[in-house]
Structure 1
Amino acid sequence: MMNDKSLDIETAEGNAQPPHLNFESSFPSENTQVQTNTSEQRSAYQWYVVIICMVAYILSFVDRQILSLMIEPIKQDLMLSDTQFSLLQGLAFSLFYAFMGVPIAALADKKSRIKIISAGIAFWSLATAACGLSKNFIQMFLARLGVGAGEAALSPAFYSIVADLFPKDKLGRALGVYAIGAFIGSGLAFLIGGYVIGLLKDVNFVVLPVIGEIKTWQLTFMIVGLPGVLLALLMILTVREPERKGLKVGEDGQIVKASFKNSVAFIKTHKKTFFCHFIGFSFYTMMLYSLLGWAPAFYMRNHGLDASQTGYILGIIILVANTAGALFCGWLIDFFSKRGYSDAAIRTGMIGCAALIIPSVLFTQVENMQLSFALIFVAMFFSTFPIPASAAATQMLTPNQLRAQVSAKFLLTSNLIALGIGTTAVALITDKYFENTVMVGNSISIVNAIAGVLGVFLLYKGCQYYRDSMKTENLSKS
């Protein structure tokens, strides 16, 4: 009688094919090919969503940034001071952009994020065109409020969507691609604005049907504003609402509701983390907006460039340096994430902020214009980091049903500090302290030096707090 072991050997020897081999598995099955095709289609669609939202982001920055290039004709026609212009550029936009983001984000955590984004694109595009109809400071201020209100719908809803589409180790790159929209938009604003201003430099006004006589800078607003309506229609027709993932469950076993109260409670639970995150990235972003908002005025006032020349040069710098910086930031976040750093996004932001201080302060202090452009190129590269880094940090820590609302609260803080206070601080120092518009470069350097040091300190402290928060939420890899 044979034991079990010998039976196994006989059976194996009697088989023409060893039982542990399966030749069919050596070839891809039909199911495997179907799964591969489905995976590729899903990946292509995911990136399509990112690209179409990036295009929307491009248009949003064209619409908001075009103002800074046309500073001189707008000031002349509307009889504005630098401080009044800074209110149009900063406070008027940031006021509604920041505050409207909170209730819109509350809807985005409950309703269709795609419909909310599409409605926002259409609204801010029409408001940008309305800037071209402005005849005085009040009308322009109200139109800029509309631009801010519409643009408030985009980023919080997108940040919530992208975290449902991509895993954490690819989230940085997706947010980096989205972020380049800000800088492609800013670059195009300067290039398009410079081209239109150059094209129409000998034309004082144009006559449009129904509207009548308008200045060339007003026509520019209409040209850049209206294409957004077509994009809004494309998005609503081609993008579907993704399934929500990463919902937080409370101690009672029930899913935490997407409410304002719960979003505030979540922030309070991690108050040290979010304080360093919100305020640190706000000071970092202040440096970005001081560069985008006042660099054109600096080069026109101190180096004798006209608006068209300034638009072309800064447009090219922003398209190359800022786009590369945003993509590098996204890659660096994923690099740190794959190596187990749970604070990858905050760490990346701290590195970028530290690297930005010197070039952002010195580009206005050197006499050689070529050297100044070289320094601002480096500054623009590192100035991009706060957009993808701050968004990634929020999405990695925050549960799905609160993502848009927490993002909106960050954008509220960031825009009031960075855009509302930062750009106005440059103008106030120029108007009230130096009392000379040519000294705008010194004002930029002062604001960037202070904001940069504060930003690095807060983000450095925030790294440890963020790691602790990730452990508390059981999300840390370490």
Structure 2
Amino acid sequence: MTIPLRSESTESPSARSRLVTPAQAWYAVAILTIANVSGFVDRQILSLLVEPIKRDLQVTDTQVSLLMGLGFVVFYSLLGLPIGRWVDRGHRPRIVALGAMVWSVMTMLTGTARSYAHLFLARVGVGAGEATLGPAAVSIIADQFPRKRLGVAMSTYMMGTFLGSGVAYALGAYVVGRVDKPGVVTVPLVGDVYPWQLVFFFVGLPGILVALLALTMREPRVFTKAADARAATVQAPFSEVLAHLRANARTVGALSLGFACSSSVNYGIGAWLATFLIRTHGWTVLEAGTLQGVLTFTIGPLGVMLGGRLTDAWSKQGHIDAPLRVGMLGALGMLVFAGLYPLVPSAMFAAALLVPVNIFAAMPWGAANAAIAEAMPPRMRGQGSAMYQLVVNLLSGAMGPTAVALLTDKVFRDPLALRYSLTVSTVVGMSLAIALLAWARPAFRTTLSRQRAEADAAA
């Protein structure tokens, strides 16, 4: 059995005749999901080693925050733009493989850092490597699945986000007490390193295997006939990409900003949940980190797959705007449960409410990738995905944790009022997400209908 590559925008008839088997398509999803797990472990682990890093490298909280913010998110987001253009014309599995090799090597170089500058440059390198994955994965998956199965495929890939984050939280909670000690240890071929730096060797090494696995994925573009192989890989000029974005500004802008608001709330909760449990309910670092890791690792994947299945089910019922509906449902669930858990008096009640919080927090993200993939013509999906990620990552990375901190410091002026800051940021952020995604729905339907009409005319 074979399935046609998706072609709901303007492509040549010969390009639309390209075929991949379901096994090949799902194999690619599996490899990309594993890559996503590896990337998120490498990305998140630093946040759990703040105290030993400060002690041994003599740095401040602000400098550490720059490693997780400026040193990663900004470069990760901005480098996505040229990488997206490369994705639209290049061999995508090789791009993923190169990126995985870069982020793995740079993670291990973090384990050799003897100064803040060295550590900062290593984190920039991790961000540069991981910037290849999102645009390439969205482009590869969208090319290989029909629209009515795209939600589950994208959600499977996005499971890696929650599996990787969960592993990082749980691993960090487990090892922090074992590596948070002075002195050095000797690593063969490397020399003396601080004990906490060993973590970066353990989490970086698996990425090299990911790079090798990525090379085993098929690049669907090579399956075109020789006569139109060149046409299939012609990159859309940047002027054409901008023209498409201008013509569909409400679609792309509103869905990007809507999902960015949703992501900002998630980032804020991720950054401050453990501190909330410690300050409000007297939990230990180990207890808070373990709960956060277990919930992210187990409930997060269930939530993202539920969102994917809902997306596909609504698509089969004829709802063109299915991904945006799922985004709105996830935001509504967060508005209720994430707005409530910080306010309840019992720690156990709060922990129980974190189960639906994790479900609704994860629900939209396969749908979000499906939405941006459908909003862009196939030959500019890499660039479209990179621009979407630029908006989401910069806004959520900058606004999410900072909004909670500013509310605590400047509005409530009490560290113990963190619970109220979490509730206020959730209610405001998710209300904006619902409003923006609702505003995007009619424009999104118009964009997809226009692209299908153009594809039919081209056929």
* TM-score, length basis structure 2: 0.86
Q: Out of 238, 244, 259, which is 2:237 matched to?
A: 259
Q: Which of these two proteins has the greater Rg computed from alpha carbons?
A: 1
Q: Which residue of 2 aligns with 1:218?
A: 197
Name the aligned partner's letter for residue 337 of structure 1: S
CA apart distance, 1:316: 1.2
Task: Check the 8 A contact 2:56/2:182 in 1, yes or no.
Answer: no
Instruction: Give runs of aligned pairs for residues 190-269 of structure 1, distance below 5 A.
Output: 190-200=169-179, 205-209=184-188, 211-236=190-215, 238-243=216-221, 257-269=235-247
In structure 2, how many angstroms separate the alpha carbons of the residues matched to 1:388 and 1:56? 16
Q: Out of 342, 367, 373, which is 1:395 matched to?
A: 373
Task: Check the 8 A contact 1:95/1:420 in 2, yes or no.
Answer: no
| Structure 1 residue ranges without an equivalent (≥5) | 1-34, 247-252
Name the aligned partner's letter for residue 241 of structure 1: E
**CA deviation map 1:76-109 (0-9, x unaligned):** 4445555444333233211011100010010110
Task: Check the 8 A contact 1:346/1:463 in 2, yes or no.
Answer: yes
In structure 1, how many angstroms separate the alpha carbons of the residues matched to 2:219 and 2:131? 19
In structure 2, how many angstroms separate the alpha carbons of the residues matched to 1:298 and 1:112? 45
Q: Which residue of 1 aligns with 2:86?
A: 107
**CA deviation map 1:331-383 (0-9, x unaligned):** 01001100001111111111111111222233223332111111222111111
Q: Which residue of 2 aligns with 1:317?
A: 295
Q: Out of 337, 352, 355, which is 1:374 matched to?
A: 352
In structure 2, how many angstroms separate the alpha carbons of the residues matched to 1:458 and 1:325? 22
In structure 2, how many angstroms separate the alpha carbons of the residues matched to 1:427 and 1:146? 28
**CA deviation map 1:298-351 (0-9, x unaligned):** 333443433333332211111121110000000010011000011111111111
1:277 aligns with 2:217: no
Q: Out of 319, 335, 343, which is 1:357 matched to?
A: 335
Q: Which residue of 1 aligns with 2:390?
A: 412
Task: Check the 8 A contact 1:71/1:297 in 2, yes or no.
Answer: no
Q: Which residue of 2 aligns with 1:145?
A: 124
In structure 2, how many angstroms separate the alpha carbons of the residues matched to 1:353 and 1:293? 19
Q: 1:233 to 1:343 in 2, by over 3 A?
A: same
Q: 1:364 to 1:145 in 2, by over 3 A?
A: farther
Q: Out of 434, 447, 451, which is 1:469 matched to?
A: 447
Name the aligned partner's letter for residue 266 of structure 2: L
Q: 1:412 to 1:36 in 2, by over 3 A?
A: closer
Count of residue correspondences: 433
Q: Secondary structure at the match of 2:112?
A: coil
In structure 1, how many angstroms separate the alpha carbons of the residues matched to 2:91 and 2:2? 29
Q: Secondary structure at the match of 1:473?
A: helix
In structure 1, how many angstroms separate the alpha carbons of the residues matched to 2:95 and 2:175? 32
Answer with 348-357 or 207-216: which moved more: 207-216
In structure 2, how many angstroms separate the alpha carbons of the residues matched to 1:304 and 1:215? 30
In structure 2, how many angstroms separate the alpha carbons of the residues matched to 1:381 and 1:304? 25
Name the aligned partner's letter for residue 219 of structure 2: E
In structure 2, how many angstroms separate the alpha carbons of the residues matched to 1:134 and 1:438? 36
Name the aligned partner's letter for residue 282 of structure 1: A
Q: 1:447 to 1:141 in 2, by over 3 A?
A: farther
Task: Check the 8 A contact 1:68/1:294 in 2, yes or no.
Answer: no
Q: Out of 166, 180, 200, which is 2:159 matched to?
A: 180
> Identity across aligned pairs (percent)?
36
Task: Check the 8 A contact 2:111/2:200 in 1, yes or no.
Answer: yes
Q: Out of 257, 260, 277, which is 1:299 matched to?
A: 277
In structure 1, how many angstroms separate the alpha carbons of the residues matched to 2:444 and 2:222? 24
1:133 aligns with 2:124: no
Q: Secondary structure at the match of 2:176?
A: helix
Q: Which residue of 2 aligns with 1:168?
A: 147
In structure 1, how many angstroms separate the alpha carbons of the residues matched to 2:291 and 2:428? 27
Q: Secondary structure at the match of 1:474?
A: helix
CA apart distance, 1:205: 4.5
1:87 aligns with 2:66: yes
Q: Secondary structure at the match of 2:193?
A: strand
1:116 aligns with 2:95: yes
Name the aligned partner's letter for residue 304 of structure 2: A
In structure 1, how many angstroms separate the alpha carbons of the residues matched to 2:419 and 2:279? 9
Task: Check the 8 A contact 1:91/1:416 in 2, yes or no.
Answer: no
CA apart distance, 1:240: 1.9
Task: Check the 8 A contact 1:60/1:151 in 2, yes or no.
Answer: yes
**CA deviation map 1:381-412 (0-9, x unaligned):** 11113321211011123211000100000001
Q: Secondary structure at the match of 2:367?
A: helix
Q: 1:293 to 1:78 in 2, by over 3 A?
A: farther
Q: 1:64 to 1:119 in 2, by over 3 A?
A: same
| Structure 2 residue ranges without an equivalent (≥5) | 4-18, 225-230, 455-459
Task: Check the 8 A contact 2:106/2:126 in 1, yes or no.
Answer: yes
Task: Check the 8 A contact 1:278/1:413 in 2, yes or no.
Answer: yes
Q: 1:49 to 1:255 in 2, by over 3 A?
A: closer
In structure 2, how many angstroms separate the alpha carbons of the residues matched to 1:106 and 1:235? 20
Name the aligned partner's letter for residue 93 of structure 1: F
CA apart distance, 1:141: 2.9
In structure 2, how many angstroms separate the alpha carbons of the residues matched to 1:420 and 1:106? 25
Q: 1:298 to 1:218 in 2, by over 3 A?
A: farther
Q: 1:73 to 1:439 in 2, by over 3 A?
A: farther
CA apart distance, 1:286: 0.8
Q: 1:362 to 1:295 in 2, by over 3 A?
A: same
Q: 1:333 to 1:203 in 2, by over 3 A?
A: same
* TM-score, length basis structure 1: 0.83
Task: Check the 8 A contact 2:258/2:437 in 1, yes or no.
Answer: yes
CA apart distance, 1:125: 1.4
Q: Which residue of 1 aligns with 2:27?
A: 48
Task: Check the 8 A contact 1:91/1:420 in 2, yes or no.
Answer: no
Name the aligned partner's letter for residue 173 of structure 1: V
Task: Check the 8 A contact 1:90/1:423 in 2, yes or no.
Answer: no
Task: Check the 8 A contact 2:89/2:234 in 1, yes or no.
Answer: no
CA apart distance, 1:122: 0.9
**Pairwise CA RMSD of aligned residues?**
2.8
